[in-house]
Structure 1
């Protein structure tokens, strides 16, 4: 890399740092709102409350399960109503990237669930990445992708 390229990269980094500092208060408020919505989403899943879930997820939702199954909004809501009963959900170690009207969230996801009509309870521990986008006054989840953590991870 030439000295000019270093200078340009350093300038970009300084500008990014300044921009981040200016937006810290705003970003903190956005992050708190997304945390609140994610807590509400998890509680709604445990309750099987698809009415509340409808207010939190986009019409264009792409939900990718750890097993690779892909659901859109309709099939996701049908799964919550007819297929999977969540008994407990916990999120931890969340990381947030705020870029304008978009927030990317990644962190640990743990849940206990069972298929309706079956006794067997399954536990899941993985990493989930979500994309939340603000449209007007409302944040909606547009994408979700889970990956199972192995014992070595």
Structure 2
């Protein structure tokens, strides 16, 4: 297998895992989402609040907000030793108590290759100014 093929395969795996994560978020499938998050996962929201894995899963399970859509652009996948970094821009539509909220963020995620598949170790979002 050539290096270009390996990089392409890694990119495909990470993007597929990230899509599975979003699909779990859309339907608030906490069990499926939990399988995609590393035990020591951290989620840093665009407002600076950081939640550990348990707190993030509880937030999703609470139904306080529901992911409706997330359009990702400018995605880059880079290998960094045992970790894989996925970054880009996301325009995320949420339902917050019946009201629609749209956020545009730059994001960075770190994925690790566990024995049973890719696991997200960290999510970091940065709010982007309105265009």
Name the TM-score, length of structure 2 as normaliser: 0.92
Gaps of 5+ in 2: none
Q: Say yes or no: does 1:129 pair with 2:121.
A: no
CA distance in 1, matches of 2:69, 2:87: 19
Residue aligned with 2:69, SS: strand
Structure 1 stretches of 4+ with a deviation exceeding 3 A read none
- Number of equivalenced pairs: 129
Q: Say yes or no: does 1:89 pair with 2:77.
A: no
> Which structure features the higher share of helix residues?
1
Q: CA deviation at 1:103?
A: 0.5
Aligned match of 1:12: none
Gaps of 5+ in 1: 1-21
Alignment deviations for residues 19-74 of structure 1 (CA, whole Å, 9 cap, x no partner): xxx52211111110001011111111011111111111111001000011100100
CA distance in 1, matches of 2:34, 2:8: 25
- Aligned equivalent of 1:32, options 3, 12, 32: 12
CA distance in 2, matches of 1:113, 1:99: 32
Alignment of 1:2-151 (within 5 A): 23-82=3-62, 83-115=64-96, 118-151=97-130
Structure showing greater relative contact order (alpha-carbon pairs closer than 8 Å, 6 or more residues apart): 2
CA distance in 1, matches of 2:80, 2:124: 19
Q: CA deviation at 1:87?
A: 1.3
Alignment deviations for residues 125-146 of structure 1 (CA, whole Å, 9 cap, x no partner): 1111000011224110000000
Q: CA RMSD in A?
A: 1.3
